[in-house]
Chains A and B, each alone.
Chain A
């Protein structure tokens, strides 16, 4: 084992540990904007109270440098591995597992993984096939991009799958989504973000729904036919268009970008995984707040951001044969 491989091992481990904790502490700007926007529009007293509490919680977590929620979930990593990246995927997996373990012990974080049948704890957020790692391979690249999406089970339990039939058409898909949202009710932590995957096999449809959840709020599918299915969903109000003028904040908001190259897009662009591309300004912000940006990212190729979402999402999936986008 060469020094380069050892160094990369350590760098990937550091990236995993850093991303896991970062994703648990810092709510992305697009979600903060969507929350503030919703508070402005909410008319019920209880609804306003809830949104106000969520916004206060995000602020408190930032001030106290605390976790947003005590449920640190299962760490899920999405990796884009360049074909010339020197570390074998088996070692990448080992490093991500070691990083998850290190973050759990050092922070410390609650250990959530238990044996499925005995319910005995299996270690510091690691266990059989935990953390969950998705690998995607990129030709003509020597870099590695890692995205961490911690998944709490309160929202995970509100995932639904249905095998639709062609006879029910698109209306059948829409009905299933609506029925799932109402069925989930107040059980997943608010705010509910609905990700929908349509088509493929049962497991792939669910995978697509998870990818959709991690997209910035307000972005639409690149395929107009698919984007239209969502109806007139309102994107978060742009800061400068607010009737009371721009809000004061330390950073310019990260403008939600259209998710690129979804696996279920009509024309996946540039073989990109969705939502991996954050605007470049994530980088200085990461360095400012944590001082060790290199540990958070392992890259020797083209710049691309690491991003995350938070627990508290609803994953609705509809696997529908014959209606493939």
Chain B
């Protein structure tokens, strides 16, 4: 299992293709915060996002922030939410907006594997609940759009050494979630036999 450092947004698809499920990754650059309501607005209500998502790294989050001025927010505690709820937006994010990475907790179900492979995307697993640590890795909240959806706005964070993240699903059809689930189900059969 290799260790990588990737700066987002990425321009070169090779940056994504070099990542394999299980690899450790530290992220630099910019991270876009997004959640259920943000994506419902983009895809179900057809509203164009005011931030450029080309080559972007999306983080499933609804941060805890303090307002310090018009459109200005200070970070208090920023962590992640369960990704599986938002899997249906994967194809659209990759195909229409050129998103390259999605990060959250708990993983994506198997239906994300094929579109991620076809569109050259990865899913990064972050440790759920480890928000205090993530907050120290977020340098600044640079932009906020759709404030009326608070806290499910569209956020732009500048990060430094964001991680460690684990590649959960890679752009080659590999998924840790599928593999671990398969192993667990096999083990479950053995345990049932001993009950």
Contacts and interface: CB of A to CB of B under 8 A. Distances in A.
Interface in A130-166: 154, 157
B113 to A, nearest CB: 15
B130 to A, nearest CB: 4
A178 interface: yes
Contact of A53 (B107, B127, B136, B176): B127
Contact of B82 (A56, A61, A157): A157
A57 B62 contact: no
Interface residues of A, number: 41
Given A49-B164, A110-B64, A185-B106, A179 B131 contact: no
Contacts of A53: 127, 130, 133, 164
B62 A70 contact: yes
Interface string A46-62: 10011001101110110
Residue in B77, B166, B181 with the greatest tally of chain A CB atoms within 10 Å:
B77
B63 interface: yes
B107 A71 contact: no
B118 to A, nearest CB: 24
Interface range on chain B (Cβ under 8 Å from partner): 35 or more
A190 B127 contact: yes
Nearest to B187: A182
Contacts of A70: 61-64, 76-79, 131, 135
A172 to B, nearest CB: 9
B130 A57 contact: yes
Interface in A198-213: none
A49 B163 CA distance: 11
A83 B171 CA distance: 63
B136 A60 contact: yes
B1 interface: yes
B106 A109 contact: no
B47 interface: no
A15 interface: no
A50 B77 CA distance: 19
A54 B130 contact: yes
Contacts of A119: 37
A154 B128 CA distance: 9
Nearest to B40: A119
Contacts of B150: 121
Contact of A178 (B107, B131, B176, B188): B188
A108 to B, nearest CB: 6
Interface string A271-284: 00000000000000
Contact of A186 (B62, B133, B164, B177): B177
B129 A190 contact: yes
A45 B132 contact: no
Contacts of B38: none
Given A108-B76, A186-B105, A57 B195 contact: no
Nearest to A119: B37
A68 interface: yes
A60 B66 CA distance: 20
A171 interface: yes
A175 B192 contact: yes
18 contacts: A46-B22, A46-B166, A57-B129, A57-B132, A67-B64, A67-B131, A68-B132, A69-B130, A69-B131, A70-B61, A70-B135, A110-B64, A111-B151, A179-B188, A187-B84, A187-B106, A188-B106, A189-B128
Please provide the 6 A-B residue pairs with the shortest distance between their CB atoms, ordered closest to farther.
A189-B128, A189-B129, A61-B132, A187-B106, A57-B130, A70-B79
Interface of B: 1, 22, 24, 37, 61-64, 66, 76-79, 81-82, 84, 105-107, 125, 127-133, 135-136, 150-151, 164, 166, 176-177, 180-181, 184-185, 188, 191-192, 195
